[in-house]
Structure formats: C-alpha cells, structure tokens
C-alpha cells in the first residue's frame, strides 16, 4: 500500500514521508507535490528506496508414462 504522509510545522516547513514504494520511483511520485511546496531542504532515503523488486516466475512440467501390465 502506497502512503504519503505530510507534517506541516507552525513555521511553514513540511515534512513528507513516503512508504510502500520500492526503489527510486518515489521521487517520480512526489516530484509534482514538491514543486508546488517550494524548496526542498533535505531528503533521506529509507530502506524501501534501496530495496529491489523481486520478479518471480515458475514453470511446471508434468510428464506421465503409462505401462501395461
């Protein structure tokens, strides 16, 4: 589940926290919002940023033999 959380401080600063997005695509998701909010003072990557998406595939092969007794 993708979540964007914003904390707005009394002095106008906005803290943004993104969870549920694996890899660097979180920057693409937040780019438009950050452009509207103003200057980005700092960024901090979470463990999800460095995680890699796992692609799994499976192939099943069935072989049957018949013998006549």
pLDDT in tens, 8-66: 999 989 998 888 888 878 888 888 888 998 888 888 887 787 777 666 676 767 666 77
DSSP string, 32-60: HHHHHH---------HHHH----------
Q: Largest Cα–Cα distance in the chain?
A: 88
Band the pLDDT of 69: cuts 50, 70, 90.
low
List the chain domain ranges.
3-7+9-50
**With contact defined as beta carbons under 8 Å apart, do 37 and 13 qualify?**
no
Q: What is the pTM of this model?
A: 0.59
**With contact defined as beta carbons under 8 Å apart, do 11 and 34 qualify?**
no
């Amino acid at each position: 589940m993708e979540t964007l959380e914003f904390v707005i401080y009394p002095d106008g600063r906005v803290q943004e926290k993104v969870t549920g997005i694996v890899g660097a695509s979180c920057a693409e998701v937040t780019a438009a919002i950050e452009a509207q909010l103003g200057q980005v003072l700092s960024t901090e990557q979470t463990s999800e940023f460095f995680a890699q998406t796992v692609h799994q595939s499976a192939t099943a092969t069935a072989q049957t033999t018949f013998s006549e007794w």
